[in-house]
Amino acid sequence: MKRLRLAAGLCLLALLMANIASAGPKAGWYRAYYDEAGVQVGARGWDCDLQSIAWGVVTERHYTTNICLME
């Protein structure tokens, strides 16, 4: 019974650590923000080298995409 609890605990810990590791910034993910007329008014995200992109204003209208081409 102790081995079963230990195995279950280790599996839970591994899942938690994988979730934490995947929560960081992702290269190339970019969210563009638009006004009511459809004009882009801001952006947030990271470029392909994980440099932060942040300009303009954040609105409710947005589109998320990956701007890096993966080979």
Q: How many helices (H) and strands (E) does the chain have?
A: 1, 4
| pLDDT, position 19 | 58
Strand order from edge to edge, sheet including 29-34 = 52-56, 40-46, 29-34, 61-66
Exposed / middle / buried, residue 41 (Cβ in 10 Å: 0-12, 13-18, 19+): middle
Higher pLDDT, 24 or 67: 67
Q: What is the pLDDT of residues 1-60, one digit of tens each?
A: 888 888 878 777 777 666 555 556 678 888 999 999 999 999 999 888 888 889 999 999
Look at residue 17 in the predicted model and tell me its pLDDT.
Answer: 67
- Largest Cα–Cα separation, the chain: 63
Residue 71: pLDDT band with limits 50, 70, 90:
very low
The Cβ of residue 63 has, within 10 Å, a number of other Cβ atoms equal to 10
CB 57 within 8 A of CB 42: yes
